[in-house]
Structure 1
Amino acid sequence: MAEETKVEEKVEEKTEATAAPAEETKAEEVKPNPLQRTIELTISRKELDARVAKALREKAKKAKFHGFRPGHAPAAMVRAAYGQEIQFDAINALVSAAFVEKVQEGKYHVSGYPDIAPTEGAPENEDTMSFTATFEVFPDVEVPDMKDASVTEYECELTDADVEKTLDVMRKQRATFEKADKTAADGDRVIVDFKGTLDGVAFEGGTAKDYAFALGQGRMLPEFENAIRGMKAGETKTFNLTFPENYPAKNLAGKEVQFEVTLKEVDEEILPALDDKFAKDLGVNDGIDKLKADVKENLQREVTARLEARTKQSAMNALLSVAKFPVPHAAVEEQREALVHDAIENMKAQGINLPNDSIPANAMLDQAEQRVRLGLQISAIVEKEKITSTDEQIKALADNIAKSYEDPKEVVDWYLNNPQHKAELAAVVVENNVVAWILKNAQVKKEPISFENLMGRGQQA
């Protein structure tokens, strides 16, 4: 058992640790932990001796010593070689069993693992050995009073104009360019030669030939783009430019330089027509009206999901504001370690390799504490308000997820016919039902949000 292993480690570590005097701390007062509990454990020396004797006999049957056949070494030799290890294992097994029994008797909801050590100052007893177990318990969490908690429920109306803007973005993503005899303007692709100098000397990275970029997309500094707007192919212009103070190249940050730019070509953006061919190119064979309907349906689904996510976050923040109870340090540390591990793995996925000890010990501590507190509070609400998920709700969630797939029925079956996948959906439904409970019991204010703000970067090309 994992619990027994941890108990063994604590007993093993104890003897020297308790001998060291506690350091006097004056700078910071250590607050008592309201979730800490201490229980006394005793084990029988007679039972311990019996376990040790039995284990030694078993070991003797297989022990190999130089000069003796397996199983024929003297008992004293076996005890000298293995007695201390066997006794230690026997003590830990008996202490672990005593701890489990006491926990069950006291109905403690233990968080983490106990710190078990021989009881300090305990009188010598020829019949028993005494140990002290110190551990944390989970708090008793009540259903909170939400009447003064404030929750924002976000609203957004999807308009035909929003759909048209999205279609325009899709067209821009499939735009082509044609050489044109015109002055350069936003949306055009320009091809330029340029040379930048600082105090008359060309600087690194300031020279290029046949450099292409689209005007108005912010790829170049605003002053650079402003200089090119209105130019025609074949024209050359010289202008001054001051780099921003926070420019990455420190030798150029805040410096005024001079650029000489020759515009070699202007390519005009050609957007595809919004017609049946455009729809077919996107995999919709039923025409442009079907594409528009699909885009609107997908956008509405995305809008609904984002609104629910924002409202859910507001509800959880409100729940945290009334969740006033202590949380076990062990549970917080476990959550913190999980968050740090996930962060390191995410960075590895991006090609950034960091050692496990590169993140400070207190990193993500507040986030971990909030997660533990929120989890305990939600569990209490679910249990005491009898919040569950119904098969109808699980099916509806699966249907909603499946809508964006080519074969919705296959996706629904994948969720509903697999116990693990169905349980995952059920957990989401329960959490959504908790949000509904919060909205029902808290002070709710509705707040409209624009489509652009709701979609954020997701709306950009």
Structure 2
Amino acid sequence: MSIKVTQEKLPASRVGLQIEVSGEQSRQVYERTLTRLSREVRFPGFRPGKVPRPVLIQRLGETALKANAIEDLVQQSLESAIAQESIPAIGNYQLSSDFETLVAAFQPGESFSFEASVDVQPTATLAQYTGLTVEVAEVPFDANRVDNVLAEQQKQMATLVPVEGRNAAIGDVAVIDFQGILVESGEEIPGGSGTDFQIEVEEDRFIPGFISGIVGMAIEETRTVDATFPETYAQEEVAGKAAQFTITLKELKTRDLPELDDAFAQEASQYETIEELKTALTERFQTEHESEVKASKRDAILTALADQLDVEIPESLLQREISAMINETASRLSGQGMDVRKLFTEEVLERLRENSKDEAEQRLRRTIALGELAKVTETQVDDEAVKARAAELLSNYPRPQEIDRDRLNTVVREELLEDKLLEWFEANNSVTFVAPKAAETEVDAASATVETTATETAEEAPEAPKAKKGKKKA
């Protein structure tokens, strides 16, 4: 289909199109539409495809026939225009002309004009990609991590022993009866009572004021304890409200911790000696730390590159990225046993899309910036390197026959290309580690990611954690 096309560059990587179709082409499309409808529409007394034209026009109406023809004509004309003008289109087109006006003006056999717009691949440039100074927040290595893990394992494997001759203290395990009311109304708190409830006497357990009220209690003692629910408490009806709990301490226990010896290592892990276990934990945490350092450096470099990027991201590309993020989150939550079909209601999806815009845009800016860096530096990945890395990954997978090789090769190529580009950037710019700023270590309560928005919706009010006895292999 040969058509006349006039282009206009629009904001946000869109191209406006004014398209004119000849009278002969408008007639041909109209005729084809009538033929198609005569096959699709069922009228009593007529076989499919044998409905006479006058009957078809009378039954459907001339306006409906024209509307169908225009839909076909617009779709075919746009596809032809995009191919004819080599327009790098992405996403669906948007009709700029009023459809009802087009229907009223359409006459088969006469020239037909309309306006539409389409998103195109964004044109991007990097203002600077050498001589930059990038500061990377240091990721400190926790030298006490092995000791902390072993101490937690000791705690899990401990034997609970009844306490005699003293009152409750931090570190104990208490068995209590409790009942709570809201101070303002005197009403019982939903879920705010329990019998023979086992709780660890540790700070940050339950709500502020509850644990401190237990400390110092004697067995069989009953106390009235003041506590306040946090403003961010999951149950909105009690969030931020003052409460009173009547607590009776029924039992008090302490933990008899096992010795950190070879017997402990054999019970807690697959290692024969405590030294082997410590060595394995140290190596694991060091590897994890190296990965965290690499991720921190990658994040800083990609942020610096994105800051140098001049690009207008089209809406269709942004929405596609948001959908990908939501699908990733749905996959993770499904893997955790959540029913995402119930979780992702229309309301939740709307919130997810709104909350994801900034992160999606930043992800796109980073991807586009890396692509531009690859162009200007002419960086490529050797096919043999892709083949070798893919083979290595397949060798570690128990069922390699289930892997989509083309997809695997694509992912491997992207990862290897990113590694090469990050190495190039580090060699041609100043990348230094600095102590993290205080602001970077605080949680930004205003920020909302896809996963937190989704999981917050699924969560119910948290219960007071119970002390548990058992072993978990390190």
Instruction: Say yes or no: TM over 0.5.
Output: yes
Quote the residue 2:281 is aligned against.
295
Secondary structure at the aligned position of 1:140 is classed as coil
- 2:136 maps to 1:152: yes
2:298 alignment partner AA: K
Secondary structure at the aligned position of 1:424 is classed as helix
* Offset at residue 189 of structure 1 (A): 1.1
- 2:163 maps to 1:180: yes
Q: Which moved more, 1:269-278 or 1:81-90?
A: 81-90
Quote the residue 2:316 is aligned against.
330
Quote the residue 1:354 is aligned against.
345
Secondary structure at the aligned position of 2:174 is classed as strand
Q: Which moved more, 1:64-73 or 1:295-304?
A: 64-73
Q: What does the per-residue CA deviation read over 1:114-168, in whole Å, with 9 as the maximum and x for residues that have no partner?
A: 3346699999996532233333333321234143453315343464x43222222
Q: Which moved more, 1:413-422 or 1:323-332?
A: 413-422
- 2:146 maps to 1:168: no
Q: Residue 68 and residue 209 in structure 1: after superposition, are their counterparts in 2 closer, same or farther (change >3 A)? A: closer
Q: Distance in 1 between matches of 2:67 and 2:271?
A: 75
Q: How does 1:359-378 map to 2 (within 5 A)?
A: 359=350, 362-378=354-370
The share of aligned pairs that are identical, in percent, is 19
Quote the residue 1:140 is aligned against.
123
Q: Is the 8 A contact 2:386 2:412 kept in 1?
A: no
Q: Distance in 2 between matches of 1:441 and 1:263?
A: 66
Q: Distance in 1 between matches of 2:236 and 2:116?
A: 59
Q: Is the 8 A contact 1:231 1:263 kept in 2?
A: yes
Quote the residue 1:3 is aligned against.
none
Q: What does the per-residue CA deviation read over 1:395-432, in whole Å, with 9 as the maximum and x for residues that have no partner?
A: 66996x89xxxxx8345957988332343343333334
Q: Which runs of 5+ in 1 are unaligned?
A: 1-31, 403-407
Q: Distance in 1 between matches of 2:326 and 2:170?
A: 44
Q: What does the per-residue CA deviation read over 1:156-197, in whole Å, with 9 as the maximum and x for residues that have no partner?
A: 3464x4322222222223333122335333322122456778
Q: Residue 395 and residue 326 in structure 1: after superposition, are their counterparts in 2 closer, same or farther (change >3 A)? A: same
2:120 alignment partner AA: V
Quote the residue 1:272 is aligned against.
258
Q: Distance in 1 between matches of 2:153 and 2:415?
A: 32
Quote the residue 1:8 is aligned against.
none
* Offset at residue 101 of structure 1 (A): 4.0
Quote the residue 2:174 is aligned against.
190
2:175 alignment partner AA: I
Q: Is the 8 A contact 2:265 2:273 kept in 1?
A: yes
Q: Residue 99 and residue 52 in structure 1: after superposition, are their counterparts in 2 closer, same or farther (change >3 A)? A: closer
Q: Is the 8 A contact 2:135 2:434 kept in 1?
A: no
Q: Is the 8 A contact 1:195 1:202 kept in 2?
A: no
Q: Residue 68 and residue 110 in structure 1: after superposition, are their counterparts in 2 closer, same or farther (change >3 A)? A: closer
Q: How does 1:219-258 map to 2 (within 5 A)?
A: 219-220=205-206, 223-230=209-216, 233=219, 236=221, 238=223, 241=226, 243=228, 246=231
- 2:82 maps to 1:103: yes
Q: Residue 324 and residue 49 in structure 1: after superposition, are their counterparts in 2 closer, same or farther (change >3 A)? A: closer
Quote the residue 1:380 is aligned against.
372
Q: Residue 278 and residue 327 in structure 1: after superposition, are their counterparts in 2 closer, same or farther (change >3 A)? A: same
Q: Distance in 1 between matches of 2:135 and 2:399?
A: 33
Q: Distance in 2 between matches of 1:141 and 1:187?
A: 59
Quote the residue 2:294 is aligned against.
308
Q: Which runs of 5+ in 2 are unaligned?
A: 1-9, 444-471
Q: Residue 169 and residue 428 in structure 1: after superposition, are their counterparts in 2 closer, same or farther (change >3 A)? A: farther
Q: Residue 212 and residue 61 in structure 1: after superposition, are their counterparts in 2 closer, same or farther (change >3 A)? A: closer
2:407 alignment partner AA: Q
Secondary structure at the aligned position of 1:359 is classed as helix
Q: Is the 8 A contact 2:96 2:115 kept in 1?
A: yes
Q: Residue 428 and residue 215 in structure 1: after superposition, are their counterparts in 2 closer, same or farther (change >3 A)? A: same
Q: Is the 8 A contact 2:22 2:112 kept in 1?
A: yes
Q: Distance in 2 between matches of 1:210 and 1:445?
A: 56
Q: Is the 8 A contact 2:26 2:110 kept in 1?
A: no
Structure with greater Cα Rg: 1
Q: Distance in 1 between matches of 2:118 and 2:356?
A: 24
Q: Distance in 2 between matches of 1:57 and 1:196?
A: 75
* Offset at residue 363 of structure 1 (A): 4.4
Q: Residue 170 and residue 144 in structure 1: after superposition, are their counterparts in 2 closer, same or farther (change >3 A)? A: farther
Q: Residue 223 and residue 378 in structure 1: after superposition, are their counterparts in 2 closer, same or farther (change >3 A)? A: same
